[in-house]
Amino acid sequence: MAEPQAPGSTDADLVWLDLACDLAALCPPSESAFSVGAVIVAADGTRIARGHSREDDPKDHAEESALRRVPAGTDLGGATLYSSLEPCGRRASRPRPCAELVLDAGIRRVVFAWSEPDVFVPATGADRLRAAGVEVVEMPVLASRAKEPNGHLLG
């Protein structure tokens, strides 16, 4: 596999983030929300949960879908959340943005492929996570894959 493409990233990050991009392609299309995939991985490298936007509900974001699938009692302190898109810091469809859900779950590391464009709300998720002490790694080498299922929203 190629060398890591971003400071703080690993070869495993590329594999898991690639899976998140695959999951984004499974999302039902929407004119009012991005198609996003998310995977939560334990510190030992095992997958805990995964999800994608609109998987169970038309308003679901990928991160909340994945978090809903985490087995009860699982400690996420050493886990990494992989998301094809920067977790939202503001949200129009529900009161709690994904960055807040990630913080509440205790996840201390987030890796994403594509910074959220200011299409629906201002992009503040990565800054909000960093301000709370979460390690945030952006891997733009996979941004084009993350954008593919969202081309209709980008003009």
Catalytic residue among 3, 31, 55, 63: 63
pLDDT at 23 over 90: yes
Distances, alpha carbon 57 to alpha carbons 61, 65, 74, 93, 134, in Å: 9, 9, 24, 12, 28
pLDDT at position 48 is: 98
The domain that holds 139 is classified in CATH as 3.40.140.10
pLDDT band at 5 (very low <50, low <70, confident <90, very high): low
Separation of alpha carbons 33 and 149, rounded Å: 11
Flag whether 128 is in a domain. yes
pLDDT at 3 over 70: no
Contact at 8 Å (CB) between 42 and 29? no
Flag whether 3 is in a domain. no
Query: pTM (2 decimals)?
Result: 0.93
Over residues 68-92, the pLDDT tens digits come to: 999 999 999 999 999 999 999 988 7
Is pLDDT larger for residue 33 or for residue 71? 71
Flag whether 116 is in a domain. yes
Question: Of 42, 145, 53, 136, which Cα lies nearest the Cα of 93?
Answer: 53
Of the listed ranges 20-29, 84-93, 103-112, the least confidently predicted one is 84-93
Separation of alpha carbons 115 and 124, rounded Å: 10
Flag whether 57 is in a domain. yes
What is the average pLDDT score of the chain?
Answer: 91
Flag whether 66 is in a domain. yes
Tally of structural domains, the chain: 1
Over residues 114-136, the pLDDT tens digits come to: 988 777 777 889 999 999 999 99
Flag whether 70 is in a domain. yes
Structure tokens given for 51: 């999800």
Flag whether 4 is in a domain. no
Range of the domain at 24: 10-153
Is there a catalytic annotation at residue 63? yes
Flag whether 1 is in a domain. no
The sign one gets for the Cα dihedral 9, 117, 123, 78 is negative
pLDDT band at 1 (very low <50, low <70, confident <90, very high): very low
